[in-house]
Structure 1
Amino acid sequence: MARPRPLPIDPLAEAKRQWLAHGWTDAADGMALVTSVMRAQQLLLARVDATLKPFALSFARYEVLRLLAFSRAGSLPLSSVVARLQVHPTTVTSTAERLVRDGLIAREPHPHDGRAALLVLTESGRELVERATQALNADVFAQPGLSRDDAAELVAIVARLRKDAGDFADPRPQPEAL
C-alpha cells in the first residue's frame, strides 16, 4: 500500500487552534494529547497488523499466544490472561475460542479449580508465535519510529498515566516470571 502524501499542516495542531479559537482553552491541551495518542496508536497498530497478517493473527490473538509462551508451563488460567492483558473477560474468551478452533491453544479444566479454565499453548501455537515475534521484532519493535531516548521518555510518561489510572502499583525493577 502506498503511503499517502503528507498534509501541508498538522491536523491535530489545527484542531488545537480551533479549540483555542472557540474558547475551550482549559481543554485544548488535553484534546491535543488524547487525539495525538490515538493517532499514534493507529499508526503503530497499522504496522503491527501488516506484520501479523501473513501469520493470520490479530494483535489480540498474538498477545494471548505470546503470554502463554512466556509462562513457565505454556499455560495459564483464563483469569490470569484476562488480568495480565487488562481486557474484558469476554474479549479473552472469544479470542481463546478462535485460537482453540485453529489448534493454536487448547482449553483444559483447571487442575485445582473445577470452575476455572486453563489455556494451554499447543506446539503449533508455540511455533507460530515464535515466527510472528521474530517478524514483529524485525519490522516494528526494533525501529518503532522514535529514537531510543524519545521512546524511553514516552514509555515513562505513559507509564505514569497508566499508574495514575490504576493499571498497576509501583513496578518492581524486574517483573517476576509468569
Structure 2
Amino acid sequence: MAHSRPLPVDPLAEAKRQWVAHGWTDAAEGMTVVTSVMRAQQLLLARVDSTLRPFSLTFARYEVLRLLAFSRAGRLPLSSVVARLQVHATTITSTAERLVRDGLVVREPHPHDRRAALLSLTDAGRALVDRATDALNDAVFRDPGLSSDDAAELVAIVARMRKAAGDFSDPRPQPDPL
C-alpha cells in the first residue's frame, strides 16, 4: 500500500491520461474520482489498521465496540448495529461472535422480542475501545493528512455524493452542517 518512497509520477493522473488517449474522455473524470477516493481509503485504512493492531482489533470490530460504547446503556439490538453501521447482517454477526469470544461483548436475549438479540459491551470491551479511541485520535483523526478547510470541504463533497446515492436523507432536526 504505502511505498517507502513516493512514486515519481501519480499513477492516477497517468490512468486519466490513458483514459483520454483511448477515447474515453467522457468517463476519464469519473474514473479519476472513483480511483482517487478508493486510493485515499486504502491509505487511511492502512493508518487505522496499524494503529488498531496493538489492540488486536480490526476497524469493523472497533466500530461495533465504539457504537455500543456510545449507546446510553452500552447495548443495542443486533439489528440496530447493522442499520447504524450500514453493514450486512452476516458481517455484523461474524464480528459480534469474535467480540463475544474475546470477552468484549456479550450476547443477551432481547427483553421484548424473542427472535432478536442484544449486544452488550463488557467492562473489558469498554476499556479496550476507550484505549483504542485514544490511539486513533492521536495517530489518525487529529491529523488525517488534510488542512481543516480541506477536510471540511472533502466531508461536505462526500456527504453530497452519499446523499445523492441514497445513503441518507436529511434527519429532523438537522445536525450542524458538515
Place the TM-score, normalised by the shorter chain, in its bin: over 0.9
Matches within 5 A, 1:146-165: 146-165=146-165
Q: What is the CA-CA distance between 1:3 and the residue it aligns to? A: 4.8
**3-state DSSP of counterpart to 1:9:** coil
Q: Deviations over 1:86-111 (max 9, x none)?
A: 01000000000000000000001100
**3-state DSSP of counterpart to 1:31:** helix
Question: After the TM superposition, which parts of structure 1 deviate over 4 Å for at least 4 consecutive aligned residues?
Answer: none
Matches within 5 A, 1:1-178: 3-171=3-171, 172-173=174-175
TM-score by length of 1: 0.95
Q: Deviations over 1:106-127 (max 9, x none)?
A: 0011001111010000000000
Give the distance between the partners of 1:31 and 1:4, measured in 2 at CA.
26
Q: What is the CA-CA distance between 1:170 and the residue it aligns to? A: 1.2
Q: How many residues align?
A: 173
Amino acid at match of 1:173: P
Q: Matched residues, percent identical?
A: 81
**3-state DSSP of counterpart to 1:118:** strand
Alignment gaps of 5+ in structure 2: none
Amino acid at match of 2:86: Q
Give the distance between the partners of 1:7 and 1:49, measured in 2 at CA.
23
Give the distance between the partners of 1:79 and 1:146, measured in 2 at CA.
35
Q: What is the CA-CA distance between 1:148 and the residue it aligns to? A: 0.4
Q: What is the CA-CA distance between 1:164 and the residue it aligns to? A: 1.0
Q: CA RMSD, aligned part only?
A: 1.0
Alignment gaps of 5+ in structure 1: none
